[in-house]
Amino acid sequence: MQNKQKLLIIGFVWPEPNSSAAGGRMLQLISLFQQQGFAITFASPAQESEFMFDLNLIDVTKVAVHLNCSSFDFFVKELNPTVVVFDRFMIEEQFGWRVAENCPEALRILDTEDLHCLRLARQKAFKEKRVFQISDLLQEEVAKREIASILRCDLSLMISEYEMELLIEIVAISTELLCYLPLLLTENEVPVLSDLPFFENRKDFVFIGNFYHEPNWNAVQYLKETIWTRIKQQIPEAVLHVYGAYPSQKVMQLHDLKQGFLIQGRAENAKEVVKNARVVLAPLRFGAGIKGKLIESMQCGTPSVTTSIGAESMQGNLPWNGFVEDNPECFAEKAVRLYGDKKLWIESQENGVTIINKRYLMNLFEDDFAEKIKFLMLNKKQHRLQNFMGELLQYHTLKSTKYMSKWIEEKNK
C-alpha cells in the first residue's frame, strides 16, 4: 500500500452481496475507489458469517476491529488512510471521533445506505395506523443522531433523490455535503432480453428479500393475509415463491402448500430464481432508499408489481416495469393482468431495461464521483470551514462519544 492512496472502509457488517442489496452496494463502492487507484482495507466489528464475500478475491485487505477499544486508535494511526468510509451512521458514531482524533487529515465519508430515520418514522406511523407526516421524521431520536452524523462527515452518499430533497429542503443540509450515488450496474449487467427466458418459459410469482429487514417481513405478511388470496382466486394454479436470507420461525410458519404460498428460505442464486419467474411481487408498506430487489427484477427481465414506497425515487419520469399500486385489490388485479397478458408483460420488461440504462449504469456516475473525491481531498480545509455546524458537532460529539467509549472500555476490563 506504500505508493497508493489508502481507503479504509469500516463496515457495519461484512459484505454479503447474495443476502442483501447493501452487500452488493458495498462491492460497487469498492470497485469505484479501486478505479481511482486506492488500496483498500475493509474493517468491521461484526461477526463473520459463512455467507460473507471473500474480500481477498478483489484484493481488499480484511481486518477485524473492536467496539469501544483503543486498539482501533493504534490500527488507524498506523494505517493512516487518505479517505475513510463509514458504512451507516451507527458506525460513524462509534468510530468517527477516533478517526478525527488520530487521522484528522483523512476525508470522512458516510454511506447512508438509506435514511434510517425515514424508514423508522414510516414504520412507526404504519404500526400506529396513521398516515406518515414529515413532522414524524423530525421527531425521531434516530433522525437527530443520523443528521448529526451527516453533518460531521465531509460527504454523505445518498441512494435516493427523494431522501436528498428531504435533507436539503426540510433539514437545510448543504448540497455540498451530499452526493447522489444510487445502486449501480456495469454495462455487462444490463440484460439482453433475447438471452433471457421468454414469457412462455416462465411461471409463478416471486418475492425476494432479506428477513432481517423489517419492511420485507411485513410485506410477506401482507401478501399472505391480504393479497395472495385475491390472486389465487383468479389464477387457481398460481404459486408464490418467497425467498430471503435469515428467515425466522415465524416466517417459515407462513408456508402453505395448499395455497401455493411457498417459503423457500435463502436463494442459492437469486438471479436464477427471479429470471425464471414471470412476475415479482413487492408490496412494501414502509421503508426507505431504493430497492435492490426491484433493480434485480429489471436485470432479470422480470416485470414487477410494487407500491409507491417500493418504487420511490427509482424510475424518475420513466414508466415502471409493471405497475405501482397501493390499494391491495388493485395490486392483485394488476398482478393477474401482468401474469396473463404477454404484450403488456413484454412492454413492462422493456421499460425495466430503459430504467437501468438511463438511471443505474455505473458509467453515468463514476467520473463525477471521482472528481468529487479529488476536489474534496484538495480543498478539504475550506470545505470544512464552510461546514461550521459539522465542525461544531465534531467538537462536542467527539467529547461525549469519546468519554462514553472510554468508560465502556474501562468497564469491560
| Confidence label for 367 from pLDDT (cuts 50, 70 and 90) | very high
Average pLDDT over residues 115-129: 95
Residue 1's pLDDT is what?
43
pLDDT tens for 224-275 read: 999 999 999 999 999 999 999 989 999 999 999 999 999 999 998 999 999 9
Residue 138's pLDDT is what?
87
CATH classification code of 6-184+365-412: 3.40.50.2000
Least confident of 10-14, 199-203, 311-315, 402-406: 402-406
Is residue 295 pLDDT above 90, yes or no? yes
Residue 3's pLDDT is what?
63
The residue that leads in pLDDT, 265 or 3, is 265
**How many Cα neighbours within 13 Å face the side chain of 229?**
5
Average pLDDT over residues 267-284: 96
List the one residue out of 356, 284, 278 whose CA is nearest residue 314.
Answer: 356
Share of the chain above pLDDT 70, in %: 96
Three-state DSSP class for residue 18: coil
Is residue 398 pLDDT above 90, yes or no? no
Q: Whose grid coordinates read 417459515?
A: 252
| Confidence label for 397 from pLDDT (cuts 50, 70 and 90) | low
**Mean pLDDT over all residues of the chain?**
94
Q: Using a cut of 0.95, tell me whether the model's pTM lies above it.
A: no
Distance between first and last Cα of the chain: 34
Share of the chain above pLDDT 90, in %: 87
Domain coordinates in residue numbering, the chain? 6-184+365-412, 187-359
Q: In this structure, which long-range contacts are made by residues 337-343, counting pairs with CB atoms below 8 Å and at least 24 apart in sequence?
A: 338/279, 338/303, 338/305, 339/205, 339/235, 339/238, 339/278, 339/279, 340/235, 342/199, 342/200
- Give the cell for residue 410: 474501562
Instruction: Tell the CATH superfamily of the 187-359 domain.
Output: Glycogen Phosphorylase B; (3.40.50.2000)
| Separation of alpha carbons 291 and 277, rounded Å | 18
Residue 403's pLDDT is what?
65
Report the 10 Å Cβ neighbour count for 413: 5
Three-state DSSP class for residue 180: strand
Whether 6-184+365-412 shares its CATH topology with 187-359 is answered yes
